[in-house]
Amino acid sequence: MVHHGTLVFVTLTAIVSIASAAAPVTFVFGDSLTDVGNNNYFQYSLAKSNFPWYGVDYIGGQATGRFTNGRTVGDIISSKLGIPSPPPYLSLSQNDNALLTGVNYASGGAGILNDTGVYFIQRLSFDDQINCFEKTKVRIKNRIGEKATEQLLNNAIYLIGLGSNDYVNNFLQAFLPDAQQYTHDEFLDLLISTLDKQFRRLYLLGARKIVFNGVGPLGCIPSQRVKSKKGGCLKQVNIWVQQFNSRVQQQILDLNKRLPAAQLSFADSYPAVLDLIMNPTSYGFKISNTSCCNVDTSVGGLCLPNSKMCSNRKDYVFWDAFHPTDAANIVLANKVFAMIFAHSHSPAPAPSPH
């Protein structure tokens, strides 16, 4: 089983030193939980959030392509590190200076598997995101040379958060091929073997300090609760997620033994998210079983412009059927940050939303 609330490291010292570095370089890979606007650049993508009421609590009050009312967990962790949130890859020009300071490749609807989220039409799967990182490496090398590029990439931190869509927008959708073709054990083997190749590919491209953020209790998010007769958490879904997290943890331990100088780690955010959902009042919230935005879960569960918002967004853990509110992301970011940088001098807590 998963060792709850733990972070697996072979060595902490190198990653911890990033917290005190002047300007750590971070590369972010993920899905809609960390997308900062990449999907805005896809004309036909159905996984978009560049419309009201998304961004209502973000700086300027405008939608940016973030799938929440304010900031993502990644935004808040960047703030705690004292750096700007890395910009979306698709917003950058060939020779953009931002390439040297960190890039966000996350894409709403993305999964570990390339066929995850296929009905969104356009999105960057994890393989696509790694392809984009490979192009980034070439551009950086053209700017600063091969030796300096290797040093920059070896010292950078790679934040990865994927796997949720492989369940929510793949295996848990009975009409999709993977749900019909595989038992869960077989599907899990496919996820882990695919992820193994992806970790190794990132390593060959120069990544050494990789943090994989585990999948949360998907059985308790509003889009899944509506499938329960009493509106409770779907236990089987949560069991599957914990099995996935446990396998990734073991995989990371194995890779650290096999790959020289690799410092892969697993941030188990599952218990933190579960505690926030089960005990919302302990964190200053009132409602965690449904979303602030009155969404229609039968047509995607996003907060559409004609949706009705709740009056006090800080009372809710969830913004829409899938994604936490800015207020909840502050709680989760602080917990994940404490896991990653547990032995470092922690910077100041993230400021409240504007």
Q: What is the pLDDT of residues 36-55, one digit of tens each?
A: 999 999 999 999 999 999 99
Does residue 353 lie in a domain region? no
In a domain? residue 354: no
Q: For residue range 178-225, what is the model confidence (pLDDT) as tens digits?
A: 999 999 999 999 999 999 999 999 999 999 999 999 999 999 999 999
Q: Is residue 351 part of a domain?
A: no
- Asked if residue 311 belongs to a domain, the reply is yes
**Domain assignment of residue 349, yes or no:** no
Question: What region, left, alpha or beta, does residue 145 occupy, with left being phi > 0 and alpha being psi -120 to 50 degrees?
Answer: left
Whether the pLDDT of residue 341 is over 80: the answer is no
Region of poorest pLDDT, from 20-34, 56-70, 310-324, 340-354: 340-354
Catalytically active residues are 32, 320, 323
Does some domain include residue 345? no
CATH number for the domain harbouring residue 175: 3.40.50.1110
Whether 272 is in a domain gets the answer yes
CA gap 49, 30 in Å, rounded: 16
Flag whether 308 is in a domain.
yes
In which domain, by residue range, is 203 found?
A: 7-340
**4, 251 Cβ separation under 8 angstroms:** no
The answer to whether residue 19 scores a pLDDT higher than 90 is no
| Rounded Cα distance, 196 and 243, in Å | 16
| Order of all β-strands in the sheet with 26-30 | 7-8, 265-267, 209-213, 157-161, 26-30, 102-104
What total of structural domains would you count in the chain? 1
Looking at the predicted structure, is the pLDDT value of residue 16 above 60?
no
The Cα–Cα gap between 293 and 301 comes to: 9
Q: Sorting pLDDT into bands at 50, 70 and 90, what band is 342?
A: low
Q: What average pLDDT score do residues 152-168 get?
A: 97
d(CA 28, CA 38) in angstroms, rounded, equals 12
Does the N-terminal peptide bond of residue 53 adopt cis geometry, omega within 30 degrees of 0?
yes
- Please count the other Cβ atoms lying within 10 Å of the Cβ belonging to residue 180: 9
